[in-house]
Amino acid sequence: MRNVSSVDAMRELGKKLAARLKAGDIVLLSGPLGAGKTALTQGIGEFLGIKGITSPTFVISRVHKGVIPLIHVDAYRLLASPNSKFEFDVLDLDTGREDAITVIEWGGQVGERFGEDFLEIEISFASGEDEREVTSYPHGARWLGFEL
């Protein structure tokens, strides 16, 4: 677990994480509204040379072109109904998942759909106004021994 004290610090953590990511990696973000999921993704994007990342809540997914493309998905509305399913392939993206880094906000419920290798990150509110606790849960051989 890591404590993060500001939005800027969350973006910096995203940059640090991005330095360890490669094409084909999947990062699932979970946490309450306003916890910092998009700020972490903005930091990942900045490391990849991508500016202007916003929450994909209303468009569900975006592909950002960078050193490595970044697929940014919001699974919240896809999972809002008890009968709904998250199927990555129905997003009709112009970039394949194997050629990009994929970050899925509200992704805590969809990890098992990606096989063994993915990184889950949970962001929660801590005691201070801007304080967050960020915990990583590595899954599979790709993430063996990973710590934030």
- What letter would DSSP give residue 147? -
Share of the chain above pLDDT 70, in %: 80
3-state secondary structure of 81: coil
What domains are defined for the chain?
A: 2-141 (3.40.50.300)
- Band (pLDDT 50/70/90 cuts) for residue 92 is low
For residue 42, give both structure tokens.
Answer: 């903005």
Radius of gyration of the chain (CA): 14
Computed over every residue of the chain, the mean pLDDT equals: 85
79 has a pLDDT exceeding 80: no
From edge to edge, which strands make up the β-sheet containing 70-74? 2-4, 132-139, 118-125, 26-30, 101-105, 70-74, 61-64
pLDDT tens for 23-60 read: 999 999 999 999 999 999 999 999 999 999 998 766 67
